[in-house]
Amino acid sequence: MDWILDHLDDIEYLTRQHAWLSAVPTVLGLLLAIPLGWVARRYRFLYAPVVVGTGLLYTIPSLALFILMPLFLGTRILDATNVVVAMTIYTVALMTRTVADGLGSVPDSVTASATAMGFGPLRRLFTVELPLAVPVIAAGLRVAAVSNVSIVSVAALIGVPQLGSLFTDGFVRDFLDPIVAGLIACVLLALVFDLVIVLVARLLTPWQRAGASV
């Protein structure tokens, strides 16, 4: 316990690093998954290849993906870019199917109405389909964000500083306090991400609350 109180500064720094390394890929991955999910939905023959193909990326174990990144990016092994790109790949892998299914959850009558009102495909996507798909997409994003926070800690093994560094630090010194501190900080950070997504999703779907209060 004393160790934690003495090292609050370090823990805060590592938490901030951890938050960046997991938040940036979560947002980037979502932004990439939206067009991919849309394509999978729009052209039926592409659904299986796109969804299965991106899903396969998720099977690659995290440490292996981090280590393989320099081969594709030409970066150095210690570069934090490797972690950001790898985590973005995981987010895309999880979110493409979610976006496709979320867009699919929009009732046909609604999209037909929008078309009848003269909405083009793009305007319909951004003003009708995506907003209505928010609950499904947000549910998937919660899973992706929470697992991203957990997976980023593995990057400590390739020397990128974040909360996982507390694990390796404690392990090397045979000292449990930093590990426990890291575990608690990771879980709390995941909880914060989860709450932020729930709140943003609520703000984006005011009609859901209106419906609930009736």
Partner 1 sequence: MNEVLAWLTDPANWQGPDGIPVRTWQHLMYSLVSVGIAAAIAIPVGLWIGHTGHGRFLAVNLAGALRAVPSLGLLFTAFMVLGPYLNGEVSVFVPTIIVLVVLAVPPVLAGAYAGVEQVETAARDAARGMGMRATEVLWRVEVPCALPLIFSGIRSAALQVIATATLAATVGLGGLGRYLVDGLAVRDYAQMAGGAILVALLALIVDFVAATLQRVVVSPGLTGKTAGRKNALRRIQRTTLRASGS
Q: With contact defined as beta carbons under 8 Å apart, do 201 and 134 qualify?
A: yes
Residue matched to tokens 């979560």: 26
CB of 13 to partner 1, least distance (A): 18
CB of 37 to partner 1, least distance (A): 19
Which of 53, 70, 104, 131 binds partner 1 (CB under 8 A)? It is 70
> Is there binding between residue 63 and partner 1 (CB under 8 A)?
yes
> Is there binding between residue 164 and partner 1 (CB under 8 A)?
yes
Q: Which stretch binds partner 1 (CB under 8 A): 22-30, 36-44, 120-128, 180-188?
A: 180-188
127 DSSP 8-state letter: I
Nearer to partner 1, 102 or 182 (CB): 182
> Is there binding between residue 191 and partner 1 (CB under 8 A)?
yes
Rounded distance, CA 34 to CA 200, Å?
17
Within the chain, residue ranges assigned H as helices are: 2-6, 8-42, 44-57, 62-73, 80-104, 108-116, 121-124, 130-152, 164-172, 176-204, 206-213
> Is there binding between residue 98 and partner 1 (CB under 8 A)?
no
> Is there binding between residue 112 and partner 1 (CB under 8 A)?
no
Q: How many residues bind partner 1 (CB under 8 A)?
A: 42
Residue 208 corresponds to which tokens in the numbers above? Answer: 């859901």
